[in-house]
Chain A
Amino acid sequence: MLDKSELARYERQILIPGWSKSGQEKLKKAKVLVAGVGGLGSAILTYLAVAGVGRIKIIDGDKVELSNLNRQVLHSDKDIGRDKVDSAKEKLEVLNPQINVEAIKETIDENNVFDILGDYLIVDAMDNLPARFLLNKVAVKKKLPLFHGAVYGFEGRATTVVPGKTACLRCLYQGVIPGKIPVVGVTPAIIGCIQASEVLKYILGIGELLTDRLLIYDGLSMKFSEVRLKRDPNCCECR
């Protein structure tokens, strides 16, 4: 049940058709893991927190650096040197004291990923492909949805994976070209908000998900386009 202050806090979104108090209660009971507290993670976490997702788990093994601050808006100068998960948890609890945030300072690997992810919905806010593949592996094995986003400069992408029904990340990716990735903060902010929107819609059961669709954001020409994906019958992960 939602208490009086929760009803007041979420009043405007409860007005959205298909949302209602029961939808807000679904959010309160929901469990979402956000892997990565960088540029994407900052936007995703901010909006999942203020929307009232009841249990949020965040995982990141890095510490805040000065070069993060052009895009990772959950951190600021005074956080430099702190664990990113601690910095993020502190901000999120200020943004919404009525949710539970669990911070895990670890780098995910083959040995810990299944235990850490548990039965949480998975949001992919990582900055490297091997880690994304680990999340995808757990999502496919446990049949948990995976909300994917990636950025490069002014360009971003997003798609939603529902294992057993849609293409997975392994159907899509055969590697990325190595090197330092250029990025401006507005790009992960936009893509992160799209990922957060997907999570909310999934939990609420409203709207149309980005399943088997890749949304491509081109910030330079300010255009969104979309292409269709399909499962790879020879996929090493989900076939």
Chain B
Amino acid sequence: MMNVTIKISSLFRKFTDGQEFVKVTGNNTVECLHELEARFPKIKRWLYDKQGNLRPQIWFFVNGQKISADDLTKPLNDGDELFFVLAISGG
């Protein structure tokens, strides 16, 4: 299992007790998210739709590089930083 830091964007920090960084372990993005949800269950409804699929309105980045839906199960490395943000469109 890899040690991964999840950076929490401001819109989601209300679900992580204000924490900007949460340390988790997992082999890929999906596994890391599962640990995050287990510790902060309220975040789950923002990450998944009613069918239980990850919302396409969430953008994921590993070490600052955007990844696609296909990359969510690709192996992460020890020390990687996972970051996700909600797509927004206000003007």
Residues of chain A touching chain B, judged by Cβ–Cβ distance below 8 Å, are 36, 38-41, 125-129, 132, 149-155, 157, 172-177, 181, 183, 188, 214, 216, 218-221, 226-230, 232
Contacts and interface: CB of A to CB of B under 8 A. Distances in A.
Contacts of B68: 232
A216 B85 contact: yes
A81 to B, nearest CB: 21
Contacts of B65: 227-228, 230
A214 B86 CA distance: 13
B38 interface: no
A173 B85 contact: no
Interface string B56-91: 110101001110100000000000000101111111
Given A227-B66, A229-B66, A153 B11 contact: yes
B7 to A, nearest CB: 8
Nearest to B64: A227
A188 B91 contact: yes
Nearest to B49: A177
Nearest to A167: B66
A136 B19 CA distance: 35
**Interface size class of chain B, counting residues whose CB lies under 8 Å from the partner chain:** 20 to 34
Among B9, B10, B59, chain A packs the most CB atoms within 10 A around the CB of B10
Given A39-B91, A154-B10, A172 B85 contact: no
B91 A150 contact: yes
- For the complex of A and B, list the 3 residue pairs with the smallest distance between their C-beta atoms, beginning with the closest: A174-B56, A127-B91, A181-B90
B91 A152 contact: no
A152 B57 contact: no
Contact of A152 (B55, B61, B88): B88
Nearest to B7: A225
Among A38, A177, A219, chain B packs the most CB atoms within 10 A around the CB of A177
Nearest to B86: A177
B23 to A, nearest CB: 19
B35 interface: no
Contact of A220 (B10, B83, B88): B10
B10 A226 contact: no
A150 B57 CA distance: 14
Given A127-B90, A151-B91, A174 B20 contact: no
Contacts of A219: 10
B10 A183 contact: no
Contacts of B55: 177
Contacts of A177: 55, 57, 86-87
A173 B56 CA distance: 8
Interface string B22-48: 000000000000000000000000000
Contacts of B61: 227-228
Among B11, B83, B89, B90, chain A packs the most CB atoms within 10 A around the CB of B90
Among B13, B87, B88, chain A packs the most CB atoms within 10 A around the CB of B88
B57 A155 contact: no
B66 to A, nearest CB: 5
B87 A174 contact: yes
